[in-house]
Structure 1
Amino acid sequence: MAKINVTKRGKFYQYRFQLASQNGQRKWFSKSGFKTKKEAEAAGIKALAQYNETGLTFKPSEISVSDYFNIWLNSYCKTHCKETTIYSYRKKIDKMIIPELGKYKLKALSHPVLQKFMDDKFNEGYSRNSLAVLKGILSGALKEAVKDGYISQSPMIYVDIQSDRIKPKVPTRKKPKELVTPEQWQAIIERFPESQPAHIPLMLAYHCGLRLGEVFGLMWEDIDFEAKTLSVNRQVQMSNTSKQWTFTDPKYNSFRTIDIDDAIVNLLRRERAHQNKARLYYAEYYTQLCVSGYVPDQSDHLYNSGSLGTDGTPVHMIMARENGTFIQPRIMQHVGRVIHGKAGKECPCISENWDFHSLRHTHATMLLDAGVPLPAIQYRLGHTHINMTEHYTNHVTDNMRDNIRKAISSL
């Protein structure tokens, strides 16, 4: 059990006690500035009591929060989560959880401490989505800690996120998604016509509501021109370890087949014909994209973390340049700069708050505006929960206002 050590440093006294070890190294907490030894002892006893306060009699381990979360990431998460999910968890743990909770013993975490932690993040302006992810990480990790015998029960059971009716002290950091007006859309398409590599991604997001990774993960085998459907079977993401574009399952495993309109069918027919012509023209110099394990500095290989075949299996991407090389999702960064008016001195701003996801919100709102039921929109967008679809469609359009006015007038 930790003891209070009091020493004199110059004219003042200091108390010091040992914290839970982190990464096998001893950690200490100290505070000085007390005029007498008695004052330092009293303050030290109070600080140590606060540090050890838990209300639990179950004490199987002295492990720190920091060390346990490293174990959780390297054991449970590695066998249950995607690489990109683990990377996202690691960032939040290192940035938000460890700096404030990492020094404490895992067994000392209590409901009041964790509720205050969540409330503080709320008041710092983190979005409700970020808070939900943070709560999920804490709940999931502490649930596993109970299973593994580190603690007897999870202190996250009764921790809540602040109500929507309560306003944070700092305005939320989340930037509201802006709908793309017909005028803005026309300006975007004129700036990125069919001859531009960004044209197809923009069209697929606006007409189909696809996510960025889903657009760039499309292969020709995913398009049924006769049935006029598009199947979302994978997405492309940058691997945080190999630093290569990687095939993974769609977000939330949202495999789905959706209908596509004539504009998209005809656009893709033209693109396929163009690629077939280019393949004949370039002949042996045409780049055939392949599935691969990690192959450094090979632009003709895409890393496979799914079940697309063995190394060297050819893939026929829709997002390919004339010579067959892969068009990377990073091109949309330039698109954003153009639309924001930041790509050059003579570049007019089309929309200040636009991002690629704005097209997904716009697509969902247009469907709702046209009378499409929410469950159908939910399936089309690949949402796990319908409340997320409701969030995407919480914009009020002019057509909706007209319908409201007509309904009021008919009362």
Structure 2
Amino acid sequence: MAKGSVSKKKGRKKWYYRFYITGEDGKPKQIERAGTESKAETERMLRKAMEEYESKLVIAQNSNLTLAEVIDMWLEEGLKPSSLANGTVHQYMTKANKIKWHPLAQRKLKAVTSSQLQAYIDFLSFGGTDPNGAQAKPIASGTVNVYMAMLHKVFKFAIYSKRILTANPMDYVVKRTKPADCDIFQNGESQDAGQVLSLEQYRILTDYLRKRGNPCLLAVQISYYAGLRLGEVLGLAWEDIDLEKQCMTICRSLSYSSSRKATSLGPTKTKKTRTVDFGDTLAEILRRAKMAQARESLRYGPMYKVNYVQRTVDRNRTYNDLRTLSQNEAPPKGYIPINLVCVRHDGEYQRQSTITSLCQDLSKSLSGLGHFHFHQLRHTYTSNLLANGATPKDVQELLGHADIRTTMNVYAHAERDSKRATARLLDKLASGE
């Protein structure tokens, strides 16, 4: 309910009325209008203005729009003026399609309750039986946060932009977690299984890829020796690498949008450029890779692929879409070539899905590798540095973490031997060394 008052300003004959409403950003906003020289008349004007405002709040209470339809309206209208990053928008669009698949999205918006939304968020957090009777696994905590943020924005849009609702049911929804199970009678040491690769595991992995001539080998080697994320590895260009100074500039990341069906180049996760130094081993790997790509270019001739960036606009947003053509094809308008480091034998850029599928296959093909995923290489890089005396601040900068706590919290489980050595430092004090 809007609140208002009337008052006179110093030196003026007229009365003024003002009342407070909730703006489209959800914050209080003052509306002030000039009245007349009559206080009673100005009060009547105030009451009329507030009644008109209140009527607008309930103008669409009888709307039969479903949650799915309002989600579509929000995607079309609510995101246009937004300052969200393209990657965030892609996440919302992908999650929106998944929500619309759920029966909850077919309910009328005004009939969707907080308890129903809570049940949906719990389903995402803990898994269970989906509407089709299939068993669904829990999704990552960070992904649940994206769903919750998006739903909150959708209902906020329905309230302040479309006047369909007067309250946001997502205000009462929380992300719940299950208490961790702990076996207090467990024997043996705890294991950080699947987090860090041993040197032997890394050699088995790279030997396997090398023998099969798999072009994904280079991406694995770069991440192992430089700690790059998958998107950063695939977005790395030869122009970003200085083989003499042995350093590389990380300024972009490759990503795929399932909603747009397009692969594009964008900023890194932290939206910052960083320099990563590397040693002789990776420098030699990169020199050999560059020469190998030159040989492949000669072997394929005009059919060798050229990767380029095409700027496209979608929903008032500009994307740097990554595309490819043969050397004998005429480049399109706006053609921006990019000489990527990680490419297939024919020169075409590597796709994230290819490497993700490869990692799944490697887990099945190589015994002792466990549930291998590409990000383990970044874990291993960090753990190797910390275990061998690198300062956490230096590691943070090499990794491009915005907060050093991320470096320490996620990667402090370096090597078991390093932990033992640390724990035994106090023995030196006891012995007087």
TM normalised by structure 1 equals: 0.67
Q: How many residues align?
A: 334
Tell whether 2:89 aligns with 1:66: no
Q: Describe the SS at the equivalent of 1:291.
A: strand
Q: Equivalents in 2 of 1:235, 1:196: separation in Å?
A: 22
Q: Describe the SS at the equivalent of 1:180.
A: coil
Cα gap change, 1:252 to 1:177, in 2 (>3 Å):
farther
CA contact (8 A) 2:90 2:257 kept: no
Which of 389, 398, 407 is residue 380 of structure 1 equivalent to? 398
Mean CA deviation greater in 71-80 or 204-213: 71-80
Q: What is the deviation of 1:230? A: 1.4
Cα gap change, 1:199 to 1:126, in 2 (>3 Å):
closer
Q: Equivalents in 1 of 2:265, 2:178: separation in Å?
A: 37
Q: What is the deviation of 1:209? A: 1.8
CA contact (8 A) 2:66 2:107 kept: yes
Q: Equivalents in 2 of 1:334, 1:116: separation in Å?
A: 32
Residue 141 of structure 1 aligns with an amino acid whose one-letter code is V
Tell whether 2:235 aligns with 1:222: no
Matches within 5 A, 1:169-248: 177-193=194-210, 196-240=214-258, 243-248=261-266
Q: Equivalents in 2 of 1:198, 1:386: separation in Å?
A: 30
Q: Describe the SS at the equivalent of 1:156.
A: helix
**CA root-mean-square deviation:** 3.8
Q: Describe the SS at the equivalent of 1:351.
A: coil
Q: Equivalents in 2 of 1:323, 1:100: separation in Å?
A: 45
TM normalised by structure 2 equals: 0.64
Find the counterpart in structure 1 of residue 359 from structure 2: 336
Q: Describe the SS at the equivalent of 1:258.
A: strand
CA contact (8 A) 2:401 2:407 kept: yes
Which of 150, 154, 165 is residue 137 of structure 1 equivalent to? 150
Percent of residue pairs identical: 23
Q: What is the deviation of 1:316? A: 1.3
Tell whether 2:317 aligns with 1:314: no
Q: Describe the SS at the equivalent of 2:102.
A: helix
Q: Describe the SS at the equivalent of 1:70.
A: helix
Q: Equivalents in 2 of 1:396, 1:282: separation in Å?
A: 44
Cα gap change, 1:341 to 1:241, in 2 (>3 Å):
closer
Deviations 1:274-323 (A, max 9, x none): 334554666655443333469xxx8527xxxxxxx963332212123555
Q: What is the deviation of 1:70? A: 1.4
The gaps in structure 2 that reach 5 residues or longer are 1-55, 128-137, 182-191, 313-322, 327-331
CA contact (8 A) 1:83 1:239 kept: no
Residue 362 of structure 2 aligns with an amino acid whose one-letter code is I
CA contact (8 A) 2:232 2:250 kept: yes
Q: Equivalents in 2 of 1:157, 1:386: separation in Å?
A: 32
Mean CA deviation greater in 219-228 or 200-209: 219-228
Q: What is the deviation of 1:188? A: 1.0
Which of 153, 161, 170 is residue 175 of structure 2 equivalent to? 161
Cα gap change, 1:184 to 1:66, in 2 (>3 Å):
same
Cα gap change, 1:114 to 1:291, in 2 (>3 Å):
closer
Cα gap change, 1:101 to 1:380, in 2 (>3 Å):
farther
Q: What is the deviation of 1:328? A: 3.9
CA contact (8 A) 1:213 1:235 kept: yes
Residue 134 of structure 1 aligns with an amino acid whose one-letter code is Y
Q: Describe the SS at the equivalent of 1:92.
A: helix
Find the counterpart in structure 1 of residue 104 from structure 2: 101
